[in-house]
Amino acid sequence: MRIKSFITLIAVAAAQFCCSAGQTVTLDSCRSMALRSNKQLMISRSKIQKAGYDKKVAFAAYLPALDFNGGYSYNQRKLSIFDSDQLLPTKSFDPASGSYQFNLVKNPVTGEPVKSPDGQFIPSEVALIPKSAMEYDIHNVFFGAITLTQPIFMGGKIVAMNRITRDAELLAQQMHNEEVENVIYAVDAAYWQVVSLKAKYNLATSFVALLDSLSHDVHAMFDQGVATRSDVLRVDVQLNSARVDLTKVENGLTLSRMALAQVCGLPVNEQLVPADEDITEPHLSAEVANTYNMQDVYARRPDLEALRLGIGIMGQKKKVALSEMLPSVALIGAYTFSNPNMFDGFKKRFKGAFSVGVTLSVPIWHWGGNYNAYKAAEVEETVMKLRLEDARSLVDLQVKQASFKTTEAYKTYNTTCANLASADENLRCADLAFREGMATTDNVLEAQTAWLKAHSEQIDAMIDVHLCNVYLSKCLGTLY
């Protein structure tokens, strides 16, 4: 009777669960869905694209820059060279001296030039230049220039900026890889959490079936007078407690499925059924090594590679700071034009001309500002090197701890398997003794409780083996 009731309850529970279940997914498919839909990964991929564009911007500094500048200006007044009409003295050729002499008013008696009261000679003839002849209409002025600039030597700044942007793109890629590892680890944790709770749900269902069968037998024995009211109440209390625990596990399983769907980028109401839900033992073939080649681990870890690239970037920033203390040379070519123009007199039309030159800029004295900027960049590089050394020591500790925890997880799992066999046998013997009247209700309840604990510990140990292996792979840099 007990076995039949137990099998029936298990079948009903399994049927109800299968009806409410959704699509079956594997661990790899969950990882793929999460990698496609995770928003943080989308952000990191966008950062890689931005770094690529920044690298192209830095490379463009090697090439000549062509610019156009133009404008228009309205001026209130005209431009006048003179403030009034101008009278200019003239000269005539003197055969006696063989040169040109000023035409001056001379004293008819002495023949000497006559001076004005202010002491100036008085010209006898003048040339008139009207003020209006030297006025220029600049009310409307149009101007423009096409300029070509080719850097020749910028103190090494352009080369350093190109190396910075190159390393920045690689850094963004490494940060993306690290985020991928975090997503995979989160997916694995959510996946195995569902597997764990599903196993505990089945275990809780089996435990309720055991207690229900025991309750049925105790009630029958009470009706026949071979069991006390206390025995009945004790079993009923235990049964009700097991049903409450079953409800809690069922609720936890539902929430864990929501968490798995969320981390996979699906709606939280999507019912995902892990393909490993019904496994009874870990199926991992990887062995935990006693020692690892830490140089290979360092090379695989994206966070360490990011720090190494950071050191390179800081070194190039130091060169940029140094370039501010060095001369810079550039070749400049330009075509400038304006309307009006002064190339052939004052003409109200567009006309321009080409010009070519070289610019040289030499920093002389900035009160130590450039030097201090260089020293600050040097300190940043030193800090980044120290961070790398500290991170390597932390990685050493991580790998050792992860290896130790994984080894202990396997040992714990093997121990729980042995305890599980003992608990199963203990329950069988207690059940047989109870039916023969050689054991009390308390003996059966204790055996069932020990059986539940052994199965629960075995489930926890099995899931811990999976999670420890995943964490070890993450520490070794082999997860992705």
**Averaged pLDDT, groups of 10, the chain, 480 residues long:** 38 41 84 93 95 96 94 90 84 85 82 82 85 85 94 93 96 95 95 94 92 89 84 90 94 94 92 86 68 91 95 95 93 93 86 93 91 94 95 95 92 91 91 85 90 93 92 90
Inter-residue contact 279 to 192 (CB < 8 Å) = no
Q: Which amino acid is at 337?
A: F
Kindly state the tokens that stand for 72. 């228009």
* Helices 441-476, 157-223: inter-axial angle, 10-degree rounding: 170
* Backbone φ, ψ for residue 350 (5° rounding): -75, 135
For residue 319, give the H/E element and its range. helix 302-323
Paired tokens of 463: 């899931």
Looking up tokens 């230049």 gives 129
**Alpha-carbon distance values, 429 to 7, 330, 437 (Å):** 20, 95, 12
- pTM for this predicted structure: 0.80
Residue ranges of alpha helices (H) inside 224-332 are: 229-263, 294-300, 302-323
Q: In b/e form, how buried is each residue of 176-210, taking b as 16+ CB within 10 angstroms?
A: bbbbbbbbbbebbbbbbbbbbbbbbbbbbbbbbbb
Pairing assessment for the beta strands 99-102 and 135-136 based on DSSP bridges: unpaired
- Which run of H or E residues covers position 205? helix 157-223
Domain boundaries, the chain: 2-65+155-326+366-476, 88-129
CATH no. of 2-65+155-326+366-476: 1.20.1600.10
| Contact criterion met (CB below 8 Å) for 436 and 150 | no
Burial class (CB in 10 A: 0-12, 13-18, 19+), 157: buried
Looking at residue 283, its pLDDT comes to 66
DSSP reduced 3-state for 154? coil
